[in-house]
């Protein structure tokens, strides 16, 4: 039986683990991917206090993991399949094995590996054949090609600007009447001659033989559909918390876990920390702070048992 099982090895989970381990509790941390969570895929972290020259995301992730391991935290690279939080003993099933704990800290974030799918026809079929969720990764494959970017936030603008360095033409397709992106980013995109904009328009279908050749788009006002030639389609409609498997916890309409300022969820002994909970600023430093609070409150809970 563990005192604390922590789900997720990003900055929130690793900080919680470090606090739990340092207080000499028996801590198990479960992470299916790389330590560092979302920052492992961020090229550069420039605003984490103390690292005054900035640090590579993957490296900061490794340092956070080493820090937790120094205090005896057991970390396993496993994906959680099922979880039962209701009783006083929490059950976590990962890779077919059952783990028991007195408290659980959920720090599963909004996995960078789980970008929100658009849900259009052919999306899955053409994934890796033209449909992509990461312009930074895949832009060089689309030199002198026509691409669309689907979305209207900051990330969509950044992806379009990055793509404009490689592609022949970039069309940003967005459902709303206006873009949500920060005005400065939007201005930058508008100033780029390769970028075109289509508002109140939605992508309905991805088409092609082996590889993506065109997308079917619909004007949401007139319902008229037209084909747009595109060898690449970059989907940037946001990222979501992956909390469907957590039953019985109070969440908001997008799936973010609702906590109080002590990171307590609606279930006693269950805490949430970092990007997975409803909050207004999702940064490494706030994730780490959440993790510290969650572990400290979990320790208080354990002391009362």
Partner 1 sequence: MEGKPLEIGDADFNREVLEAEGPVLVDFWAPWCGPCKMVAPVVEELAKEFAGKVKVVKVNVDENTDSPSRYSVMSIPTLILFKDGQALETMVGFKPKDELADKIKAHL
Q: Does 166 bind partner 1 (CB under 8 A)?
A: no
Binding characters for partner 1, 54-93, by CB under 8 A (x = yes): ---xx------------------xxx--------------
Task: Look up 154 and say whether it is catalytic.
Answer: no
* Contact predicate 152/180, CB 8 Å: yes
Q: Does 266 bind partner 1 (CB under 8 A)?
A: no
Q: Does 24 bind partner 1 (CB under 8 A)?
A: no
Q: Does 99 bind partner 1 (CB under 8 A)?
A: no
User: How many chain residues touch partner 1 (CB under 8 A)?
Assistant: 32
Q: Does 116 bind partner 1 (CB under 8 A)?
A: no
Closest contact distance (angstroms) between CB of 27 and partner 1 is 21
Residue number with CB closer to partner 1 (111 or 151): 111
Closest by CA position to 106, among listed 1, 238, 237, 251: 251
> Residue 46: enclosing H or E segment and its boundaries?
none
Task: Give CA angle at 138 (202, 134), nearest 5°.
Answer: 55
Closest contact distance (angstroms) between CB of 185 and partner 1 is 20
Catalytic residue among 3, 84, 137, 252: 137
Task: Look up 3 and say whether it is catalytic.
Answer: no
| Main-chain phi, psi angles of 155, to 5 degrees | -65, -40
Closest by CA position to 294, among listed 1, 63, 11, 2: 11
Binding part of the chain for partner 1, among 139-147, 184-192, 216-224, 288-296 by CB under 8 A, reads 139-147
Residue number with CB closer to partner 1 (162 or 194): 162
Token pair 């592609």 in the structure block, residue: 167
Paired tokens of 27: 């801590």
Closest contact distance (angstroms) between CB of 161 and partner 1 is 15
Residue number with CB closer to partner 1 (54 or 248): 54
Task: Look up 137 and say whether it is catalytic.
Answer: yes
Give the C-alpha separation, 195 to 291, whole Å: 41
Paired tokens of 40: 């492992």
Neighbours of 79 (CB within 10 A): 11
Closest contact distance (angstroms) between CB of 128 and partner 1 is 3
* Contact predicate 276/293, CB 8 Å: no
Catalytic residue among 134, 146, 154, 242: 134
Token pair 């603008």 in the structure block, residue: 157
Token pair 């002391």 in the structure block, residue: 303
Q: Does 275 bind partner 1 (CB under 8 A)?
A: no
Give the C-alpha separation, 203 to 201, whole Å: 7
Closest contact distance (angstroms) between CB of 119 and partner 1 is 17
Token pair 């967005």 in the structure block, residue: 174
Judged by the rule CB under 8 A, the positions of this chain that interact with partner 1 are 32-34, 40-43, 57-58, 77-79, 95, 112-113, 127-134, 136-138, 140-142, 210-211, 232
Residues with active-site annotation: 134, 137-138
């Amino acid at each position: 039986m563990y005192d604390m099982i922590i789900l997720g090895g990003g900055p929130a989970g690793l900080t919680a683990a470090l606090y739990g381990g340092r207080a000499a509790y028996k801590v198990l941390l479960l992470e299916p991917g790389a330590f560092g969570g979302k920052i492992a895929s961020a090229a550069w972290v420039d605003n984490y206090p103390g690292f005054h020259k900035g640090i590579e995301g993957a490296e900061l992730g490794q340092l956070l993991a080493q820090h937790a391991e120094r205090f005896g935290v057991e970390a396993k690279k496993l994906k959680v399949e099922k979880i039962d939080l209701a009783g006083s003993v929490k059950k976590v099933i990962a890779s077919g094995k059952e783990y028991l704990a007195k408290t659980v800290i959920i720090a599963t974030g909004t996995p960078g590996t789980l970008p929100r799918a658009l849900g259009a026809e052919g999306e899955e079929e053409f994934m890796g054949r033209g449909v992509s969720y990461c312009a930074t990764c895949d832009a060089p494959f689309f030199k002198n090609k026509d691409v669309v970017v689907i979305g209207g936030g900051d990330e969509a603008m950044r992806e379009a600007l990055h793509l404009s360095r490689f592609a022949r033409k970039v069309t940003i397709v967005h459902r709303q009447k206006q873009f949500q992106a920060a005005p400065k980013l939007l201005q930058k995109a508008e100033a780029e001659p390769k970028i075109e904009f289509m508002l109140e328009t939605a992508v309905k279908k991805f088409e092609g033989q082996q590889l993506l050749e065109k997308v079917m788009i619909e004007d949401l006002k007139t319902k008229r559909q037209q084909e747009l030639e595109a060898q690449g389609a970059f989907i940037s409609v946001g990222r979501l918390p992956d909390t469907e498997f957590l039953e019985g916890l109070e969440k908001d309409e997008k799936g973010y876990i609702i906590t109080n300022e002590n990171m307590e969820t609606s279930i006693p002994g269950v805490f949430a920390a970092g990007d997975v909970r409803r909050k207004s600023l999702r940064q490494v430093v706030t994730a780490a702070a959440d993790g510290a609070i969650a572990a400290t409150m979990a320790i208080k809970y354990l002391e009362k048992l």
